[in-house]
């Protein structure tokens, strides 16, 4: 089985795929037409050797995933509905951009990433630790307290996954996530890159970000145990926050390792993360696979823009299978030629 470093994520009625050189987004509009966007991309860990050192590259990749993830969601929403002004920077963003000389959208993305980080850290690290401190006053073992803390964290993470997986809009998003995996699996199994063959593949993949998050939860239990257990909650939480970059870096290396080799040991390590993907992916319909194929082939870079436009037109139809509106999809396709590097990283997908 051949390997590819191309990965991506599901977005609003579309899929983003990223190769070491190119980031591509394909979205099916309500009219049925598929529009695409391409731009050059290169991870900082590839650009600067020091950032490519094991562990450090995992931290860099994690930060880049957050930034590019928010930007991708914003770009996909604008591609789906160019008239939607909800994705425009706020007045506050524009004020800060004016004072700092930055692009207003870059400022908006920065604050979106910060808010997402604060919520995630607060919900899955700070809150479980506080709960553990409240319910374990008579547990003398630091290991026991850290184990309970970790189990609460994993439990909250799984409960969150179950809750969002049953939301109607998220189900479609997870369908595109499944389509992304099927197309990548199709390529890695050296099958023809078409809907029929992609459909035959599993919607699970060992490099999925879902597996990465689960590994983070497990590794955090092991590494946080090394810190012991301070009865001062501020010291306890502060030390764990300082440890998070190391947790992310170690988790990234483990994910790459178990995805690289196919043997009984690595396949056993994959199983929990792969099982969790049944929550974060759905079996896609053929229309979703079509979008994922266009996105993958655009990121791969083997086809010309003209060939990609032709493929997008071929696959353009409404969700119910009826013909797309007569507007030419190619006219609305945004092709940003790869003239400059944007610093986007390959995802763990």
Structural domain contains residue 233: yes
Q: What is the pLDDT of residues 187-210, one digit of tens each?
A: 999 999 999 999 999 999 999 989
Number of domains in the chain: 1
Position 327 scores a pLDDT of 53
Structural domain contains residue 187: yes
Structural domain contains residue 347: no
Q: 8-17, 226-235, 302-311, 320-329: which has the minimum mean pLDDT?
A: 320-329
pTM for this structure? 0.85
φ and ψ at 22, to 5 degrees?
A: -140, 140
| Average model confidence (pLDDT) across the chain | 86
What are the C-alpha distances in Å from 262 to residues 46, 178, 191, 206, 269? 26, 21, 19, 10, 11
Q: 184 is in which domain, residue-wise?
A: 7-335
DSSP 317: B
Which strands form 34-40's sheet, in the order they lie side by side? 7-11, 14-18, 22-28, 34-40, 334-335
Structural domain contains residue 349: no
Structural domain contains residue 126: yes
Residues 6 or more apart whose Cβ sits within 8 Å of residue 68: 18, 23, 41, 344, 345, 347
Residue 113 to residue 63: CA distance in whole angstroms: 9
Structural domain contains residue 341: no
Structural domain contains residue 64: yes
Inform me whether the pLDDT recorded for 347 exceeds 60.
no
Q: What is the pLDDT of residues 277-326, one digit of tens each?
A: 999 999 999 999 999 999 999 999 899 999 999 999 999 987 777 787 74
């Amino acid at each position: 089985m051949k390997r590819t470093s191309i990965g991506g994520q599901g977005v609003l009625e579309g899929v983003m795929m990223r190769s070491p050189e190119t980031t591509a987004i394909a979205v099916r509009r309500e009219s049925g037409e598929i529009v695409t966007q391409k731009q050059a991309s290169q991870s900082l860990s590839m650009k600067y050797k020091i950032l490519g050192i094991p562990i450090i590259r995992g931290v860099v990749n994690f930060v880049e995933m957050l930034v590019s993830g928010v930007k991708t969601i914003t770009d996909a929403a604008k591609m789906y509905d160019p008239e939607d002004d909800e994705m425009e920077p706020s007045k506050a963003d524009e004020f800060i951009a004016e004072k700092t000389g930055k692009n207003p959208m870059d400022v908006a993305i920065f604050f979106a990433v910060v808010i997402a980080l604060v919520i995630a850290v607060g919900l899955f690290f700070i809150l479980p630790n506080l709960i553990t401190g409240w319910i374990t006053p008579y547990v003398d073992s630091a290991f026991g307290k850290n184990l309970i803390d970790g189990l609460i964290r994993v439990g909250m993470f799984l409960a969150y996954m179950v809750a969002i997986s049953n939301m109607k809009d998220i189900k479609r998003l997870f369908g595109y996530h499944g389509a992304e995996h099927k197309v990548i699996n199709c390529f890695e199994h050296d099958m023809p890159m078409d809907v029929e063959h992609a459909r035959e593949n599993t919607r699970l993949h060992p490099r999925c970000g879902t597996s990465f998050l689960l590994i983070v939860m497990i590794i955090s239990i092991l590494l946080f145990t090394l810190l012991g257990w301070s009865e001062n909650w501020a010291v306890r939480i502060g030390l764990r926050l300082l440890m998070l970059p190391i947790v992310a870096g170690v988790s990234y290396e483990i994910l790459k390792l178990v995805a690289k080799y196919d043997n009984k040991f690595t396949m056993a390590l994959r199983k929990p993360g792969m099982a969790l993907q049944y929550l974060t992916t759905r079996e896609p319909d053929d229309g979703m696979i079509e979008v994922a194929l266009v996105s993958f082939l655009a990121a791969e870079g083997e086809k010309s823009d003209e060939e990609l436009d032709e493929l997008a037109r071929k696959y353009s139809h409404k969700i119910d299978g009826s013909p797309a509106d007569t507007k030419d999809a190619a006219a609305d396709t945004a092709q940003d030629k790869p003239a400059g590097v944007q610093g986007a990283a390959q995802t763990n997908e």
